[in-house]
Amino acid sequence: MDASDLLRGALLQLSESDAVRRAVVAAPVSRAVVDRYVAGEAVEDAVSTTADLRATNRLATIDHLGEDVTDRQQAAHTRDTYIALLGALTEADLARYGAAEVSVKLSAVGQSIPRDGDAIALENARAVCEAAERAGTTVTLDMEDHTTTDRTLETVRALRADFPWVGAVLQAYLHRTEADCRDLAGEGSRVRLCKGAYKEPESVAFQDGTDVDLSYVRCLKVLMAGDGYPMVATHDPRLVEIAQALAGHHDRRPDSYELQMLLGIRDLEQKRIADRGHQMRVYVPFGRDWYGYLVRRLAERPANVRFFLRSLTSRG
């Protein structure tokens, strides 16, 4: 395990610390820190950022930040925020044909509520899917820590009975993911493949960055050879090149898969990819609950830590 892997582990540990969360959120952080990675706090901010992306031929998937909700009212509020967002995207003519879709964490819409969490999350996610269908776009269910993987995939299957376009997310650092890719690579199946952004035990996840990359490539091979719609979520230039080479090998049309990157990371490369006629979708988070998201993004790309620390101590 090299230094970057150790730093990633330390950052993921920080993402789970309530004490550190309180200290960082209360600190006089320059708005540049959050603004680089988060569209803003309101629906209008997310719509504005999406319009800017569309002006440069990029697509968007929008996430209302928040997770591990244990209150029914808060889960309903998150559901209603997504429905309002989809309505606003429709009014701005940004939703049709999947130009902008939404990403939903099931723990944000009730999965973590004791006893009835899975049923509540399914009901709320279904309401978001209904709004997305009216808007002419799609929904992708984000994946969280490994303890929720089976429950999340079960919800995906339940929703696909009525909304076959619901997307699933698989995380390459989990030992199980190559097998999950084989299960989900069928016709019409939308699957986002990412490396993974949670601190997981060695028993279920690869710990070394090289092992994660090798798993990612194995999973890519399965998805590109399948009949589904791969969504390749990575900032790694090597993996982007491999994904495009595999797509060519399997005679995939440019509209039969897409590349995905996060808002604020490799912006020029995103534009270059879009300008070359490839589908580039940007993950656009918005909302007040940015801390966990931001720290996990730093863990994925430790080079951003220096930028973050400078901003923490700035007074601008």
For 98-134, the pLDDT digits (tens) are 999 999 999 999 999 999 999 999 999 999 999 999 9
Helix, strand or coil for residue 112? coil
Q: Check residue 264 and give its pLDDT.
A: 87
- Structure tokens belonging to residue 271: 């534009």
Whole-number percent of the chain with pLDDT over 70: 83
Phi-psi region of 57 (alpha: psi -120 to 50; beta: other; left: phi over 0): left
Distance between CA atoms of residues 191 and 195, nearest Å: 13
Instruction: Give the strand pairing for 100-105 and 139-142.
Output: parallel
Check if the beta carbon of residue 302 is closer than 8 Å to that of residue 7. yes
Q: What is the mean pLDDT of residues 165-179?
A: 98
Q: Check residue 315 and give its pLDDT.
A: 40
Q: Which residue blocks in the chain are alpha helix, DSSP H?
A: 3-15, 18-26, 31-37, 43-54, 72-91, 117-135, 149-160, 177-184, 209-225, 237-249, 267-275, 291-300, 305-313
Q: What is the mean pLDDT of residues 160-181?
A: 98
Q: Nearest-CA neighbor of 39 among 25, 27, 56, 51? A: 51
Give how far Cα 297 sits from Cα of 12, 55, 174, 276, 292, Å: 9, 25, 18, 27, 9
Q: Check residue 302 and give its pLDDT.
A: 57
Phi, psi at 114, each rounded to 5°: -55, 145
Active-site pick, 192, 281, 296, 297: 192
Q: Is 275 a catalytic residue?
A: no
Distance between CA atoms of residues 246 and 191, nearest Å: 16
Residue 66 DSSP class: -
- Residue 311's pLDDT band, with cuts at 50, 70 and 90, is very low
Helix, strand or coil for residue 104? strand
Q: Is 315 a catalytic residue?
A: no
Q: Check residue 30 and give its pLDDT.
A: 47
- Residue 316's pLDDT band, with cuts at 50, 70 and 90, is very low
Q: What is the dihedral of CA 46, 168, 262, 291, to 10 degrees?
A: 70
Q: What is the mean pLDDT of residues 57-67?
A: 96
- Residue 189's pLDDT band, with cuts at 50, 70 and 90, is very high
Residue 97 DSSP class: G
Instruction: Give the strand pairing for 280-286 and 258-262.
Output: parallel
For 243-254, the pLDDT digits (tens) are 999 999 999 999
Check if the beta carbon of residue 224 is closer than 8 Å to that of residue 246. yes
Residue 96 DSSP class: G
Active-site pick, 63, 118, 142, 145: 142
Lowest mean pLDDT among 21-30, 86-95, 177-186, 223-232: 21-30
The reply to whether the predicted model has a pTM over 0.85 is: yes
Distance between CA atoms of residues 20 and 6, nearest Å: 18
